[in-house]
Structure 1
Amino acid sequence: MSPMATASLVLYFLLFCLLPIPLSSAETYIVGGSTGWTTGVANYSAWAASHTLHVGNTL
């Protein structure tokens, strides 16, 4: 096998191995924003509506 064919085969193998890896990210949110988790002060419905939460986020 020629060196070019070997290099191509190695490259395709590496791409095949690395492509299925899902990328992930997570964020940390302070519930209620700057007022934090309090009673009677924060509008949690409005706060939740202004954020897009995903699995893996920390509240």
Structure 2
Amino acid sequence: MSLATRYDDPILETIARSIHTFFPRCLKCGQTIETFEETDVRILTNRVVHRRACPEQSSL
């Protein structure tokens, strides 16, 4: 069974939340994603990115 068809499975949500806890930085921009709701977790690749576009990076 494809994981895509199990989008409302509470076990998969628990796994996704755990991945976000362990890897809170976006793999595209490197910034910390503060909340799980802002996160797009790809479970099979343990990939964490911003759900929408990455925020503008400020120059330090």
- TM-score, scaled relative to structure 1: 0.27
Q: Whose Rg is larger?
A: 1
Q: Give 1 or 2: higher strand fraction.
A: 2
The one of the two structures with greater contact order (alpha-carbon pairs below 8 A, sep at least 6) is 1
- TM-score, scaled relative to structure 2: 0.27
Q: Give 1 or 2: higher helix fraction.
A: 1
